[in-house]
Amino acid sequence: MKKLYLLGLIFLFNSCTSDSKTRIIRLGHGLDVTHSVHQAMLKADQYLSEISNGKMKIQIYPNQQLGSERECLELLQIGSLDMTKVSGAVMENFAPNMRIFGLPFLFENKEHLFRVLDGSIGKSLLKEGEDYWLKGLGYYDSGSRSFYTRERPISNPKDLEGLKIRVQESASAFEMVKQLGGSPTPISWGELYTSIQQGVVDAAENNPPSFYLSRHYEVCKYYIIDEHTMIPDILLVSTHLWNRLSQQEQDWLQQAIDKSILDQRKLWTISENESLQAVIDAGVEVTYPDKGPFKEATKKMYHDFKKDPSIALLINQIQNEKN
């Protein structure tokens, strides 16, 4: 809390002393500068500067310079940071319907996912965090998440039984791992490499670029491409800032983000293919199991989720977007 308080003071002071001719929007995130999300953020800054004729810019702080995802969220909530990027799994703690993204095998493919994200369902979900001072501006592609393990390959859910598996701070992720027989263990992303290396956890799950850029392939030599979830990254703006912007400024920022989303999705596809090849070249055993047993093992989650009428409606709406 002391760290957040000091950061808050620094950013509040900087906000008061920034050049009045150019509005600087401060964006903090935890990813490496080579990540497609960071590259898209650079494009968003470029677009915003062009659209606004230099009246608005985005200043980006990568690599957890300003803290973890949760710490950046807290800074947004008190108005000391303007924007951040979080996983949709983390957002379910602030917008309950966002837990829909944690349902395994909900989306048929990328086309199905993008139809949902870019349509009325996705736009409605972006508004759900506003009661917590978190307004969604759009979704960056985060691919599909799959398991990687330290000591043995995985071919079916039984192979996950008893393994300590790192999960995000997400009730949906906890439940999914439990349904598959594993022991869900929450660990921050920055501490995960060491935790795997020291045997604190036996496995984790993430997309190929994250697996590669984090260098987790150095300590996990088995990667099973089961693609159990497609959880997008969400670009958030603090409502403290958003409500201070004029309508024109809001439009400029939204336009810049919308354009950067198209860039990021192209960059993501390139990064995903390159990352998968890179881990294979580094000696990782990559396998593609039959998804049927994994779907069957997690089927109970659908029954449990549908006990909530709003989630049941969302599931039906999303399934209707398949074609």
248 and 300 share one domain: no
| Per-residue model confidence (pLDDT) at position 93 | 83
Task: Say if residue 109 is exposed, middle or buried (CB neighbours under 10 Å; 0-12, 13-18, 19+).
Answer: exposed
Answer yes or no: is 250 within a domain: yes
278 and 192 share one domain: yes
| Per-residue model confidence (pLDDT) at position 170 | 86
Distance CA(145)–CA(33), nearest Å, equals: 21
Domain that holds residue 265: 2-89+125-141+233-273
Answer yes or no: is 95 within a domain: no
Distance CA(250)–CA(258), nearest Å, equals: 12
| Per-residue model confidence (pLDDT) at position 9 | 44
134 and 183 share one domain: no
| Per-residue model confidence (pLDDT) at position 10 | 52
Answer yes or no: is 100 within a domain: no
Answer yes or no: is 94 within a domain: no
The total number of structural domains that make up the chain = 2
215 and 289 share one domain: yes
The CATH number of the domain holding residue 163 is 3.40.190.170
What's the predicted TM-score (pTM) here? Answer: 0.88
Q: Does residue 83 surpass a pLDDT of 90?
A: yes
Answer yes or no: is 109 within a domain: no
Task: Say if residue 107 is exposed, middle or buried (CB neighbours under 10 Å; 0-12, 13-18, 19+).
Answer: buried
150 and 171 share one domain: yes
Q: Does residue 165 surpass a pLDDT of 70?
A: yes
pLDDT averaged over the chain? 92
241 and 302 share one domain: no
Q: Does residue 66 surpass a pLDDT of 60?
A: yes
> Residue 122 is encoded by which pair of tokens?
């996705």
312 and 205 share one domain: yes
| Per-residue model confidence (pLDDT) at position 20 | 64
83 and 150 share one domain: no
Confidence of residue 13 (pLDDT cuts 50, 70, 90): very low
Q: What are the DSSP E strand ranges found in 16-140?
A: 23-28, 56-61, 83-87, 134-140
pLDDT digits 0-9 by tens, 103-133: 999 999 999 999 999 999 999 999 999 999 9
Answer yes or no: is 104 within a domain: no
132 and 154 share one domain: no
Distance CA(84)–CA(78), nearest Å, equals: 13
Domain endpoint, select from 273, 288, 304: 273
Task: Say if residue 321 is exposed, middle or buried (CB neighbours under 10 Å; 0-12, 13-18, 19+).
Answer: middle
Answer yes or no: is 106 within a domain: no
23 and 154 share one domain: no
136 and 190 share one domain: no
User: Span 30-36, mean pLDDT?
Assistant: 90
Answer yes or no: is 99 within a domain: no
188 and 57 share one domain: no
Q: Bridge partners of 23?
A: 56
Query: How far, in Å, are 199, 257, 302 from residue 208 at the CA level?
Result: 22, 24, 26
Q: Any idea which residue has 């989630």 for tokens?
A: 311
